[in-house]
Structures are given as structure tokens and as C-alpha cells.
Structure 1
Amino acid sequence: MSVSQTLETEEDLLTCLRIKFYHPQQNQRGLYGLLPLGSRKRHSADEPLRLGRDAQTCSYGLVDPRVSRKQLAIYAYRSPNSPEMLFTIQNLSQRGKLSVNGWTLGYLERTDVPDKALIRFLEYEMLIVRESGEAKSSFEVEFEVMAVPPSRETCTFETGVRPIMDTGLMNNAPATLRDIGPQESDETLSCSY
């Protein structure tokens, strides 16, 4: 084998953002017609990944008139002396708010994206999962559609707290949560963090 065949290339090490979408009416509308579902696409790390309804100015589009022309942007960055590619997310919508794991961002505000993040805007829920890599100049993006809201999945694993049942008893919950008392729960409501 030659040296060029045995060396790992940047393509072997690309960080991947797996972005999973959910919308309550996704089966009745073609909301995701502009997304390359089920395939990985390479994206330059020095360009923001923009999502919105305007396919001309955004990297990826949603077919929904309620979505802003530019809804959000995801920026790649690296910390000094670290091979990890990390990301921030910025709300580009003047009309609406964007939440990241329960933290609300106003227009042009941004925050770091953890390895697993629940993003909400309008009626959309996006679960972003970062798969590590060591690439310096690009990363991959893979879009999927979820059959159930990702908030149902993230409520349990992100907070470590199970939803309160009708009895209101939480035997394994920290004392601070038990002191709150019983609360009603509804499957259609999102959990708070």
C-alpha cells in the first residue's frame, strides 16, 4: 500500500450536524421539499449555515410562508488548541423568537449549541446532534424528519427528570422538585428546562 492510501483524510474526520425536524402539520404540507433529507451534505466552515424560507440567501430552505426569509444561522468555530469543531446559533428573525434548550433568543442574539440541542421557532422543533470530528475547513449536515416531537425525547434525557404523573409523586426527584407539589401534565405541552 502506498502512503497516500493509508493516511486518513479530512473526509474521514468531518464533524456532522444531524438536524432532525418536527412540525405538527408536516404530513399535510411539503414543508421540507427544499431540504436534502437522508443524505449528508458538506458545508464550508467559514460560511454560516442559514435556514429560512428564502432559498436564494439561505443554505437550506423551508417551504412555509410563516418562516422568516432568514430564520436562523449556525456558525462553526474552534477553540485554541482544540481539534473539536463547535457551533453557535443566531436568531435572524425580526418577527419571532428562537429558543435553544429553553433559553429564548431575540433578534440577532446568539448562543453556543451543545452536543445535543432542542431548537424551537414557530411550531417547528429541531433536534441538533453534533457528531465529533477534527476537520478544520468543513463539516457535514444531515437532515431528517421525526415522526414525534423531539421535545418528548429531550425532556427525559436532558433534565434527567421524568414527567410528573397524575398522582404528582416523584419518588426519585430531587427535594427541590418534590417541594413544588403536584402539577398537571399534558402530552401536547412542551417541557420546561
Structure 2
Amino acid sequence: MSVSQTMETEEDLLTCLQIKLYHPQQNCRGLYGVLPLGRRSRHSADDPLRLGRDSQACTYTLMDPRVSRKQLALHAYRTPQSQDMLFTIQNLSQRGRLSVNSSSLGYLERMDLPDKALIRFGEYEMLTILESGEAKASFEVEFEVLPVPPSRETCMCVPSMTPVMDTGSTVTNGLPAEFIALGPLETDETLMCPS
């Protein structure tokens, strides 16, 4: 075998940025008609990935008149301390806010994108998931449409609620069941309790 056949190629080790989209009216409109859904597209790491309505200014286009001409940009970068490709997100919309995991970004503001992030703009919810790779010059992007809002699935910001177990007891707080059936008991704050 020659050396070129045994060496790993950059194509085998590309970082992949999965972008999963949801809009409440996505089934009755062609919002994602020009996105490469379900397949990976290669993107140069030194060129920002722009998402918006304008097909001339953006890498990927949403067919929605309520989306800004240039909505957001994802910038790839590296640090000397890590081999991983990292990303920042920048709000390019002058009209609307963009939130990343409930942190709001104004026009031209940017922040580091975590490995998994819930991004919201307008009525859109976008879940990004970063699969790391070792390639330095490019990365892949994979678009998918979600059937339900990712905020419902991920619950990133809402603490989980603990269910309360029903014991089936007929006595609650020392009161017989016939008093409980009458409804809640009220107390008078002016009553004095003996000490």
C-alpha cells in the first residue's frame, strides 16, 4: 500500500455543524425549499456561514419575507489551546433580536456558540449541534427540519418538575375525607393562636 492510501484524509475528519430548524407554519409554506436538507454540505472555514432571506448575501436562504435579509452569521475559529473547531454566532438583523440559550444578542453582537445551542429569531427555533473533527480548512453543515419545537424537546432552560405521588389516603393533614371533599379550608389571619 502506498503512503497516500494509508493516510487519513481531511474529508474523513471534518467538523459537522448540524442545524435543526422548526417554524410553526413550516408544513403549509415552502420555508426551507432551497436548503440542502438531509445531506452534508462542505463549507470553507475562513468564510462566515450566513443565513437569511437574501440569496446573494447569504450562504443559505430561508424563503420567508419576515426573516431579515441577513439574519445571522456563524464564524469558525480555532484557539491555540484546542484542536477543535469552534464557532461564534453573530446577529446580523437590525430589526430583530436573536437569542442563544436565552441570552439575547442585539445587532452585530456575537457570542461563542456552545456544542449544543437553542437559537431563536422571529418564530424560528434552531437547534445547533457540533460534531468535532480535526480538519482545519473546512467543515460540513447538515440541515434538518424538526417536527416539534426543539425547546419542547431539550428543555434547556426549564428546571424539571418532580411529580408528587398520590398515596390514596383518605385522611389529609389530620382532617377526615368529608372535610377535604368540601374544598380548601381558609384561615383567618386575625385569629390569635394561644402560645
1:175 maps to which residue? Answer: none
1:28 and 1:166 map into 2 onto residues whose CA distance is 40
Describe the superposition over 1:124-173 as per-residue Cα deviations: whole angstroms up to 9, x where unpaired.
00000000001111000000000000001221xx3583157799xxxxxx
Partners of 1:120 and 1:65 lie apart in 2 by 17
TM superposition shift of 1:81? 3.7
Distance of 1:160 and 1:123 partners within structure 2:
19
Alignment deviations for residues 29-79 of structure 1 (CA, whole Å, 9 cap, x no partner): 000011000010000000000000001110000000000000000000000
Q: Which residue of 2 aligns with 1:19?
A: 19
Whole-angstrom CA distance in 2 between matches of 1:85 and 1:14:
9
Q: Is the 8 A contact 2:102 2:157 kept in 1?
A: no
Q: Provide, for residues 72-110 of structure 1, a one-character-per-residue CA deviation record: whole Å limited to 9, x for no partner.
A: 000000001421000000000000000000000000000
* Aligned twin of 1:123: 123
Q: Give 5+ residue unaligned stretches, structure 1.
A: 168-193
Distance 1:10-1:95 versus aligned 2 partners, 3 A rule: same
Q: CA RMSD in A?
A: 1.7
The match for 1:37 is 37
Distance change in 2, residues 1:15/1:106 (3 Å): same
Cα contact 2:19–2:141 (8 A) shared by 1: yes
Q: What residue ranges of structure 2 are gaps of 5+ in the alignment?
A: 166-195
What corresponds to 2:136 in structure 1?
136
* Ranges of 4+ aligned residues in structure 1 off by more than 4 Å: 163-167
1:50 corresponds to 2:66: no
Specify the alignment match of 1:66 in structure 2: 66
Residues 159 and 124 from structure 1, CA distance in 2 versus in 1: closer, same or farther, beyond 3 angstroms? closer
In the superposition, the TM-score normalised over structure 2's length comes to 0.81
SS at match of 1:111: strand
Q: Residues 107 and 13 from structure 1, CA distance in 2 versus in 1: closer, same or farther, beyond 3 angstroms?
A: same
* Distance of aligned partners of 1:163 and 1:56 in 2 relative to their CA distance in 1, 3 Å threshold: farther
Aligned residue number for residue 168 of structure 2: none
Is 1:114 aligned to 2:114, yes or no? yes
TM-score by length of 1: 0.82
Cα distance in 2 for partners of 1:47, 1:134 equals: 18
Q: Secondary structure of 1:153's match?
A: helix
The one-letter code of the counterpart of 2:159 is: V
The aligned runs of 1:163-178 (5 Å cut-off) are: 163=161
Aligned with 1:51: secondary structure?
Answer: strand
Partners of 1:165 and 1:149 in 2: how far apart?
Answer: 24
**How many residues are treated as equivalent by the alignment?**
165
